[in-house]
Amino acid sequence: MPREDGAPVWDRWGCNNAGMGEEVSSGLDRRGFLGVCSIMGLGQTLLPGALFTLATQAKAQSSPLVGGGEVKASTDGMTKITPEMIDAAAVIAGISVTDEQKKMMLEGLEQVRKSYTAIRNLKMPNSVAPAFVFDPVPGDMVLDTVKKPLKMSAAPEVRTLAASISAGVAGDSDSLAFASVRELAELVKTRKITSAALTKMYLERLKKCDPQLHFVITLTEERAMEHAAAADREIAAGKYRGPLHGIPWGGKDLLAVKGYKTTWGAGGFEEQKFDYDATVVTRLDEAGAILIAKLSMGALAQGDLWFGARTRNPWNKRQGSSGSSAGSASAVSAGCVGFALGTETLGSISSPSTRCGCTGLRPTYGFVPRTGAMALSWTMDKIGPICRAVEDCALVLSAIYGQDGHDLSVQPAAFNWDANFNWKTLRVGYIKSAFDAPTLPADASEVQKRNFDRRVYDAKYAATALDELRNMGVKLIPVEMPDFPFGAIVPVLEAEAAAAFDDLTRSGRDKLLTGQLPFDWPNQFRIARFYSAVDYIQAMRARTLAIAEMAKLFAQVDVIVTPSQGNQLQATNLTGHPAVIVPNGIRGDGAPKSETEEDGALTNAGGPGTPVSLTFLGGLYSDARLAAFAKAYQDATSFHLQHPTLG
C-alpha cells in the first residue's frame, strides 16, 4: 500500500525483499536464473518452498536446471524432481546439500509433492482459515471480560444543524454532511431529521463526488432506503436502538453483503457475489445503521488502485487517497458517509486516515470478528472504523466487537466505552527518537535533500503535539521501541497472502489485477512461494519474542504517542496492539511541495493544504481507555473539525 510520505509501499511491508543473492552456485546469475524459471512456467505454477518452485505442471522442456536434454515427468504428470533442482533450491534456501543427501531426498520430495497436490485439489475458497489461531496475548495477561453499559459524552448542541435542516438546505449543507456520528445521532434520536433524509443526502453526495474521487464500487441504494424507512418507523414508535440507529455508513468492498457484488477491488472479481452478510454488516444492521455504499479498496487490499480507477484524496484530488481502505477514508473525509469501516493488515487504516485527514481506530487483533471479510493474512487482519471523531470510532467499535462463534481468533474481552474516563490516571510515553529533529547525511543526494525539507517541515507538527499534551497536564515519559528485527517477520504476511490467493497465481489470473509493478501483489505472491515452511515457522517463533518485547514496553506506560509512520507500524501490527490515528493539522502554503505533482503518481503526496496525523498506541485490549485519551487530545486541538473544500 502506498506510504503517506509518497513512497510506493510501506517499505514493501517494511522489510528489505532483495530476494536471492547476486549469483547462485551453479554459475547462473540472478537474472539468468529467473529467466530459466520463467521458461519453466514458474510465473503460473510456483510451488511451495524453495525446491518446489523449480518443478512445474507445464509440458516438460529442456533446461539447465534439470541437467539438459529431455525432461522426465513423474507419475502424476509433473516435472520430475532432479538433483540439479535441489542444488538451485538450496541456494535460495541458504543451505548446503551433499550429493549423497540429494539422492536420499528425491523419493521423499516426490511424496511431499503428492501431498500438496492433493490439498490443491480441494479447491479451498478464501473463506477457509488455517487450523491454527494466532493469539497475541501474553500468558500472564488477564482480560477484562465484564461488559458495562455504553457511556457517551453529553448530548451535543445541534441547534445550528437543526436550523439548517429547518431552512431546507439539508441536501447541500456541509455542516450537516461533516457532522460527527454523535451529532447526527442526536438529530435522528430527537427526530429533527429522518434517517431517510440523511440517507438521501449522503447518497446524493456520493454520486456527486464519485466522478472526482472514485471511492464507490457499488451503491446499495435500494437496501439503504428500505432500512432507513424502517429505522424512521422504529424511532417514531419509541424503539430507539442506540447512537448508530439511522446513521448512513459505507463499507470497504471486502465485506460480504448478500445481494450485492463484493469485488475485493480486483480485476477478475468484478462480478463476485456471496449469499451471506459479513458479521460486522449484520451487527451494524442490528444497531440500526444504514449501509449506503460498498467503498473502493486497492486490489486485494493493496494501495488505492482498484480495477476502476485510483481513489483520490479530497484535500488534493491529484493525489491518491492511500490504502488499502482507500474509499473508506476518502468518503469520510469528503463528508459523503456518516462513518465507514476499513481493515488493516499493515497500515491500511493508518495510512489513508493520515492522507485524508480522518480519525481511524485500528483495534486490538482479536477484538472484531472477520467472518465474511476477505482474508489477506489470518494472523494480522483487523477490521476497524474510520470516522471524523474518536468518539464516533468508539461508538462503532462498541457495535461490531465480540465473539461470533466463527472467527476463533476473537477473544471474550470487553470494550467498555466511557467518554468521561479519567485519562489523567494513564501513564503516557512518547517515542523520543521519533520526535527528535531530523538530520541529513553529509553526502545526501538531491532527492534525500528534498525529502529532508519535508521531514523538517512536518516535524514541527509532531513537536507541537508534545507541547499541547504537556499543556493538558500530561507528564510525558520518554521510551523507545524495542531493538528487535520486526521487519524480518513481515514476510509471514506475504506468505499467508500468497496462500489466500494460491489459485490466482497458479492459474495465471493474477495478470487481471491492475497493478503489475514489482511491489504489486502478482510479483509478491510469486516471491512468497520461495519462502519455506521452516522459515515461516521460525518467523512466527520470532513473533513470540516480539510479543514479549512489546509487553515489556507496555508494562512501563499505558499509552504511547508517536508519529504515524516508522517501525512502530510494523511492530504493533505484528503484535496486535491497538492504535488511534487522529488529524494533527494542515500543512500551510509554505510547506515544501510533493516530490512530484504528476496526477495520481505514487510519490505525489503531502504538500501545501494536506493533512498530517498523530498516532496513539495502547496495550492489548486497552482500546477503550486508549480512545478516551485520544479523544481528550482531539477535543483540545479540534483539528478533526477541519475538512476539505470540494469543487
3-state secondary structure of 151: strand
Q: What pLDDT is recorded for position 356?
A: 98
Which amino acid is residue 164, in one-letter code? Answer: S
Residue 7 has pLDDT above 70, yes or no: no
pLDDT tens per residue across span 460-517: 999 999 999 999 999 999 999 999 999 999 999 999 999 999 999 999 999 999 999 9
Which residues on neighbouring strands pair with residue 252, listed in sequence order? 295
Residue 2 has pLDDT above 50, yes or no: no
Q: Which three cell numbers stand for residue 624?
A: 477503550
Catalytic hit among 200, 252, 317, 382: 252
Residue 189 annotated to the active site: no
The per-residue pLDDT of the chain, averaged, comes to 89
**What is the rounded distance in angstroms from the CA atom of residue 178 to the CA atom of residue 576?**
31
**What is the rounded distance in angstroms from the CA atom of residue 572 to the CA atom of residue 382?**
12
Residue 544 has pLDDT above 90, yes or no: yes
Decide: 364 and 578 in contact? Cβ < 8 Å. Answer: yes
Show the CA angle centred on residue 412, arms to residues 408 and 414, nearest 5°: 140
Q: Which CATH architecture has domain 195-432+558-641?
A: Alpha-Beta Complex (3.90)
pLDDT tens per residue across span 508-521: 999 999 999 999 99
Catalytic hit among 330, 348, 350, 409: 348
Q: What pLDDT is recorded for position 530?
A: 87
Decide: 614 and 564 in contact? Cβ < 8 Å. Answer: yes
Instruction: Read off the pLDDT of each residue in 78-106 and give the average, rounded to a whole number.
Output: 89
Instruction: Read off the pLDDT of each residue in 448-467 and give the average, rounded to a whole number.
Output: 94
Least confident of 19-23, 250-254, 463-467: 19-23
Residue 615 has pLDDT above 90, yes or no: yes
pLDDT tens per residue across span 402-426: 999 999 999 999 999 999 999 999 9
pLDDT band at 30 (very low <50, low <70, confident <90, very high): very low
Residue 391 has pLDDT above 50, yes or no: yes
Residue 110 has pLDDT above 50, yes or no: yes
Instruction: Read off the pLDDT of each residue in 72-82 and give the average, rounded to a whole number.
Output: 70
Compute the chain's Rg from CA coordinates: 25
Residue 208 annotated to the active site: no
Decide: 607 and 316 in contact? Cβ < 8 Å. Answer: yes
Domain boundaries, the chain: 11-120, 195-432+558-641
With a CB cutoff of 8 Å and minimum separation 6, the contacts of 612 are 354, 458, 461, 583, 584, 585, 586, 587
Phi-psi domain of 77 (left: phi exceeds 0; alpha: psi -120 through 50; beta: other): left
Length of the chain, please?
A: 647
Catalytic hit among 180, 195, 296, 324: 324
- In the chain, what percentage of residues exceed pLDDT 90? 78
**What is the rounded distance in angstroms from the CA atom of residue 5 to the CA atom of residue 2?**
8
Q: What pLDDT is recorded for position 28?
A: 33
Decide: 409 and 367 in contact? Cβ < 8 Å. Answer: no
Instruction: Read off the pLDDT of each residue in 537-556 and give the average, rounded to a whole number.
Output: 97
Q: Which three cell numbers stand for residue 147?
A: 461488559
Q: What pLDDT is recorded for position 168?
A: 63
Residue 631 annotated to the active site: no
pLDDT band at 115 (very low <50, low <70, confident <90, very high): confident
Q: Which three cell numbers stand for residue 298?
A: 486497492
Least confident of 26-30, 266-270, 279-283, 347-351: 26-30
Which amino acid is residue 79, in one-letter code? Answer: T
